[in-house]
Structure 1
Amino acid sequence: MNFKVDQEQMLRDLRGLLSIASTNGDAGVIDEMTPLGKNINDAIDYMLAIGKRFGFETQNLDGCCGMVDMGEGEEMVGVLVHIDTVPVGEGWSVDPFDGTVIDGKVYGRGANDDKGPAIVALYAMKALKDSGVPINKRIRLIIGGDEESGTWRCMDRYKETEIIPDYAFSPDASYPVIFAEKGILKVQIHNKTDVAGEDLTLKAGKQINIVPDFAEAEAEGRRFTAKGKPAHAMEPQNGVNALLKLGHELKETGIDHPFLTLLDRANVEGFNIAISDEVSGELTINPAIGRVDEQGSRLECDIRYPVTADVDDIIERIRQSVDPVGYEVDAMQIVPPLYVKKDSPLVQTLLGVYRDITGDRTEPMAIGGGTYARAFNNAVAFGVLFPGEPDMCHQVDEYWSVKDMMVNLQIIAGALAALGVSKRGM
């Protein structure tokens, strides 16, 4: 079936959503009504207004997340999206909040992750409704406002009062289907005894799930800087870590400091955590935030570990590696991995829809990213990036092509149709 929507109106709605600066951690006034920031709440309300325009039932859950519902039935299909974004960063060639369209691509922070997919998923629900396909389940779009922090306060609020979907997918990763997501371990490695002074002051990184693209330091009366390339912490090899570059430069200059020794060890070999499994692959580490100042020296790392690994063992290995140089380790956050078997009905249903529409026979895969899918049982990530295409998630000049939007709309609407008419308890 070919699902139809008003493409121009969809693009106008996307541009409107992109114009709201719903940056996680910097989203305007925070109060009891808008605990994640006014702009987060505004972005949720913006989505809900579109849902109401389409004739769906909507609800804003205390400024943390929103819900758009269609259909009836005892079982529920969930679609999990988010409207918060990472910081803009520097070096954009266009206004990151304008939704500029150039050569068939919509540019803006969140165009690809995850405002664009959120709008497309909402329009897919509208297309399914207009198609007249009979569904026997409720379909709910769950619009989160706190995905990028990794703490997912929006999901915590949702679970307090709302129905957990019987099966769900999140268009916040790649095709064909993500059946496994590595565990996420965020650690702070610190030693408050070597405070900044004449020897070294250092600052690098803003967000733990992004490879730092700039680092600066002062030592021996000189200023040092290093530039890198940002990338998501799930694939740090796609970026260039400015913090590690700066540490290497300082060491080459002959500057000696315990923090620089720590940076030398901040890799899988140095921390003795070079582990992998057949399901999800190798452990990765992103040394993301480095500080040496009057409060001490500290390094925050984002680690993505295989689904079969023991997280306590990983922490202990790091502890043993940094103790000799006088540092301690605190686990800031542990997010357990997701693993839904490849032959499960959910994975096979989504895979079948994807293959029917695209003809692509790529197998389901595991990733290092963390999506809302792991917030629920029987949920997976599904889309939106096609195999072989550049990943603009968290990048300068982030964009999403209109062509890919429209193919994604067919896939998401088709998935909702397939799940919406599936047998009970699939």
Structure 2
Amino acid sequence: MTIDWQKEVEARKEDLLEDLKNLLRVNSERDDSKVTEDAPFGPGPRDALKHMLAYGERDGFVVKNVDNYAGHIDMGEGDETLGIFGHMDVVPAGDGWDTDPYEPVIKDGKIFARGSSDDKGPSMAAYYAMKIIKDLDLKLSKKVRFVVGSDEESGWGDMAYYFEHEEEPDFGFSPDAEFPIINGEKGNVSLGLHFQGNNAGDYVLKSFTSGLRENMVPGTAEAKLEVPNTDVAIAMEEAFFKFTEANPVSGMIEADGTFVSIELVGKGAHGASPQSGINAGTFLATFLDTYAFGGAAKQFIHVAAAYVHEDFYGEKLGVAYEDEKMGKLTMNAGLFAFKADEESTQAENFINMNFRFPKGVTVEGLEIGVEKTVGMEGATVTRGARVMEPHYVPMDDPLVATLLQVYEDHTGEKGYEQIIGGGTYGRLLKRGVAYGAMFPGYTDTMHQANEFMSLDDLFRATAIYADAIYRLAK
């Protein structure tokens, strides 16, 4: 039986787009201030999860909501289960958008909105792939389960809860990365550098904040400080403008007597590729490091400037490592916080560093290496709660081989393996990978302002997913 998958997608593309637009309108940023028993990650992720599951109910699938943590949409029966993993939560929209991030806009063949490429657009492509198979009444020998998550961008608490209550699929993929395939992912852990909240000397750092999430390169940073006198404040203004002219940043500085406020703008990016962004936090620290702050404030600024600034591969921190297959360790400094308060705890004054590490690196080794480097500068090192070890599925695994063959058949391009620093739900399964929905040469706008997905790529990915699911489950 020959099926023209692209033709089937073409017949449904208007419905697909309408469903995607409505899903994108749901602001599904995690909000811990609004957590309830009914909304474990805040109302946004819950509402987006329920919205997606409602599509499955509308279209006649078997649907289950697991206490608003996650859910699934099922079709087919069999002794084995093919799992497809998508997520409805998104990173904060942040600044710099040309349009409302939660009112999708189609322009120049692209759909712009937060979540369009990460991960609502790809998830909708995978869902419509299942819908095509169901509409055509194609016979399957395996169950196909689309698992819908709501906390992928934060702590993966959704999947921890889900797998406490539901069986794990036997194999599967996540439509949350790139074609031809992602069959390897680096390990992932965050280390915190903590400081006291005191100052010493003539310059006083009142506060310093930068970053929205540990897996985003901070696009903005703010600092409030007090300087010795008005002449120093005026001179600092002049020095700041010279700094912005000499570096790839912009910003504003305002002096009110001896009180100075600074806002610096860099460029946000996905934390798995920190070298593609411009970290506003470390650039602002680099500017402030030329002034005579003292105490813990000086330690905070100096560590950020001397050891963290543009240390994408952990060289300044003394933990650089490269594996022949998985590549280099990377580091993203995603969160900065300092508040001048003698009573504040080290938990309130910190730099959060997210590491993506290849095989050959241990978390204990990272801690020891960082502590050795910055411990003498007054920083205390702590480990984040979530640790993910490196993940790899061999090329000769039937799952990988089948998915690559489908890609080659639809594109005419040779498939090849890829290993990334990003972490996807593909790693949840021993035989799990990430598969699309972005094609080679795409413009990466994930975790950035003006996020978009090409409509041609959206529809082409849907056809590939339909064919792949059918081959894996028929």
TM-score by length of 2: 0.85
Q: How high is the sequence identity, in percent, across the aligned residues?
A: 37
Letter in 2 for 1:307: K
1:53 aligned residue:
58
Report if aligned partners of 1:70, 1:139 keep a CA contact under 8 Å in 2.
yes
Letter in 1 for 2:182: I
Instruction: For residue 255 of structure 1, report the CA deviation from its aligned partner.
Output: 4.7
Greater alpha carbon shift after TM alignment, 30-39 vs 379-388: 30-39
Equivalent in 301, 318, 324 of residue 278 of structure 1: 324
How many angstroms apart in 2 are the aligned matches of 1:321 and 1:52? 55
Instruction: For residue 46 of structure 1, report the CA deviation from its aligned partner.
Output: 1.2
Q: Is residue 326 of structure 1 aligned with residue 357 of structure 2?
A: no
Instruction: For residue 260 of structure 1, report the CA deviation from its aligned partner.
Output: 2.0
Aligned pair count reads 419
| SS of residue matched to 1:350 | helix
Equivalent in 134, 139, 157 of residue 134 of structure 1: 139
Which whole-Å deviations, capped at 9, do the CAs of 1:241-266 have from their partners, x for residues lacking one?
A: 00111111112355561112211112
How many angstroms apart in 1 are the aligned matches of 2:300 and 2:103? 41
**Structure 2: stretches of 5+ with no match in the other structure:** 228-258
Q: Is residue 414 of structure 1 aligned with residue 459 of structure 2?
A: no
Over the residues paired in the alignment, what is the CA RMSD in angstroms? 1.6
Equivalent in 260, 265, 268 of residue 230 of structure 1: 268
1:242 aligned residue:
280
Report if aligned partners of 1:289, 1:300 keep a CA contact under 8 Å in 2.
yes
1:146 aligned residue:
151
Instruction: For residue 109 of structure 1, report the CA deviation from its aligned partner.
Output: 0.6
Instruction: For residue 42 of structure 1, report the CA deviation from its aligned partner.
Output: 1.6
Instruction: For residue 133 of structure 1, report the CA deviation from its aligned partner.
Output: 3.1
Report if aligned partners of 1:307, 1:339 keep a CA contact under 8 Å in 2.
no
How many angstroms apart in 2 are the aligned matches of 1:281 and 1:38? 39
Report if aligned partners of 1:181, 1:307 keep a CA contact under 8 Å in 2.
no
Report if aligned partners of 1:180, 1:307 keep a CA contact under 8 Å in 2.
no
1:209 aligned residue:
215
Report if aligned partners of 1:195, 1:292 keep a CA contact under 8 Å in 2.
no
Instruction: For residue 193 of structure 1, report the CA deviation from its aligned partner.
Output: 5.5
**Structure 1: stretches of 5+ with no match in the other structure:** 422-426
Which whole-Å deviations, capped at 9, do the CAs of 1:325-354 have from their partners, x for residues lacking one?
A: 111110013222211112211111111111
Would you tell me which structure has more helix in proportion to its own residues? 2
How many angstroms apart in 1 are the aligned matches of 2:36 and 2:300? 38
Instruction: For residue 218 of structure 1, report the CA deviation from its aligned partner.
Output: 2.5
Letter in 1 for 2:211: G
Q: Is residue 259 of structure 1 aligned with residue 300 of structure 2?
A: yes
Greater alpha carbon shift after TM alignment, 265-274 vs 234-243: 265-274
Letter in 2 for 1:159: F
Report if aligned partners of 2:405, 2:415 keep a CA contact under 8 Å in 1.
no
Report if aligned partners of 1:14, 1:99 keep a CA contact under 8 Å in 2.
no
Letter in 1 for 2:387: I
Specify the structure having the higher radius of gyration (Cα).
Answer: 2
Distance verdict in 2 for CA 1:362–1:194, change over 3 Å = farther
Which whole-Å deviations, capped at 9, do the CAs of 1:182-237 have from their partners, x for residues lacking one?
A: 10110111122635995213111121110001111133232233211001111011
Distance verdict in 2 for CA 1:193–1:93, change over 3 Å = closer
| SS of residue matched to 1:118 | helix
Equivalent in 31, 34, 45 of residue 36 of structure 2: 31
How many angstroms apart in 2 are the aligned matches of 1:36 and 1:251? 38
Equivalent in 411, 435, 453 of residue 358 of structure 1: 411
Equivalent in 369, 379, 388 of residue 432 of structure 2: 379
Distance verdict in 2 for CA 1:292–1:193, change over 3 Å = closer
How many angstroms apart in 1 are the aligned matches of 2:68 and 2:153? 16
2:26 aligned residue:
20
1:170 aligned residue:
174
Greater alpha carbon shift after TM alignment, 17-26 vs 395-404: 17-26
1:108 aligned residue:
113
Which whole-Å deviations, capped at 9, do the CAs of 1:23-77 have from their partners, x for residues lacking one?
A: 1236x84221221222222211111111122210001100111100000101000
| SS of residue matched to 1:252 | coil
